[in-house]
Amino acid sequence: MLQYLWIFIIFFIGGKFMLALITGASSGLGIEFARLLAVNGYDLIISARRKDRLESVKKVLEKKYKINVEVFPADLSKVSEVEKLAEHCYKNDIDVLINNAGFGILKAFHNISNEENTDLINTNITALTLLSKEFIKTQKRGYILNVASIAAFLPGPLLSTYYASKAYVLSLSAAINEELKHSGKSISVTTLCPGPMKTEFFTRAGASKEFATATPRACAKRALRAMFRRKPVVFSDNLIALAAFGTKFLPFNLLTKISYRIQRSKFM
């Protein structure tokens, strides 16, 4: 338990009741965020599309960590459901907001249906934007963790809308974080840029093969540590951090060609 000491110190100074809202909490990184916060005494509001999975997470966390977990099923591709989630949650004092919900579509851009594109944009961009804005408007202090991707640093042929959405998340989060430094509010925004991990992302995106550079658990630990230190950007591991740094030195056209080859290999 010594590895969690850094969290305990931050969480319990002042002995304040703590509450976190996590979207995309039914699998992958979302579950790891929930578990790490629960082990340190946070009560949780967890949201995702699949109520049955959320109920399973709730049951395990409440039994093991003796905390309260509220389940709020929502399809964040529907703006009305995002607004209901915000209205419900921000009546409380929320200390941590983790915008983790998101997905990709592995197809040529012209083969993605209008409905698929709209759902992706609403989930990856609109929901994150609205939830972040309402958090800042209604809360006096706290932390926002927005999950982007290494994809934010380069174009993504065959995952075009997904890559573009993550570039938006990185840019928006950095801008908001700078604004908040001059606002007088004790709120910070950290952007997590993970690389490939063993989650359901590749399967949902339509890939037939995958690879990983980090585990969701290790990535979540690293992300929360950076968030509570109010760092603006954090990567899932050192290899991905190096890759992001390397994109600064390669021509844009070359990055695009490399990205295309990587995405095309996932069809094989």
pLDDT, one tens digit per residue, over 71-103 is: 999 999 999 999 999 999 999 999 999 999 999
Please tell me the distance from the alpha carbon of residue 28 to that of residue 31, in angstroms, as a whole number.
Answer: 6
Please tell me the distance from the alpha carbon of residue 265 to that of residue 68, in angstroms, as a whole number.
Answer: 44
Average pLDDT, the chain: 90
pLDDT score of 23 more than 50: yes
Contacts of residue 32, defined as CB under 8 A and 6 or more positions apart, other chains included, come to 216, 217, 219, 220, 221
Per-residue pLDDT band for 34 (boundaries 50, 70, 90) equals very high
Looking at residue 198, what is its pLDDT?
A: 67
Please tell me the distance from the alpha carbon of residue 60 to that of residue 56, in angstroms, as a whole number.
Answer: 6
Catalytic residue among 162, 163, 168, 260: 162
Q: Where does the chain have alpha helices with state H?
A: 5-12, 28-39, 51-65, 79-89, 114-121, 127-138, 160-181, 201-205, 216-228, 238-246, 252-265
Domain 19-265 in CATH 3.30.460.10: no
Looking at residue 205, what is its pLDDT?
A: 46
Q: Which residues of 207-245 are buried (b: 16+ CB within 10 A; e: fewer)?
A: beeeebbbebeebbbbbbbbbbeeeebbbbbeebbebbe
Q: Where does 15-126 have alpha helices with state H?
A: 28-39, 51-65, 79-89, 114-121
Q: Is 90 among the catalytic positions? A: no
pLDDT score of 207 more than 80: no
pTM for the model stands at: 0.89
Looking at residue 197, what is its pLDDT?
A: 77
Q: What are the φ/ψ torsions at residue 149 (nearest 5 degrees)?
A: -175, 160
Looking at residue 214, what is its pLDDT?
A: 79
Looking at residue 263, what is its pLDDT?
A: 83
End-to-end CA distance of the chain: 42
Looking at residue 102, what is its pLDDT?
A: 96
pLDDT score of 180 more than 90: yes
- Residue 29 in tokens: 């990184």
pLDDT score of 4 more than 90: no
Query: Model confidence over 131-157: pLDDT tens digits?
Result: 999 999 999 999 999 999 999 999 999
Please tell me the distance from the alpha carbon of residue 223 to that of residue 233, in angstroms, as a whole number.
Answer: 9
Looking at residue 212, what is its pLDDT?
A: 59
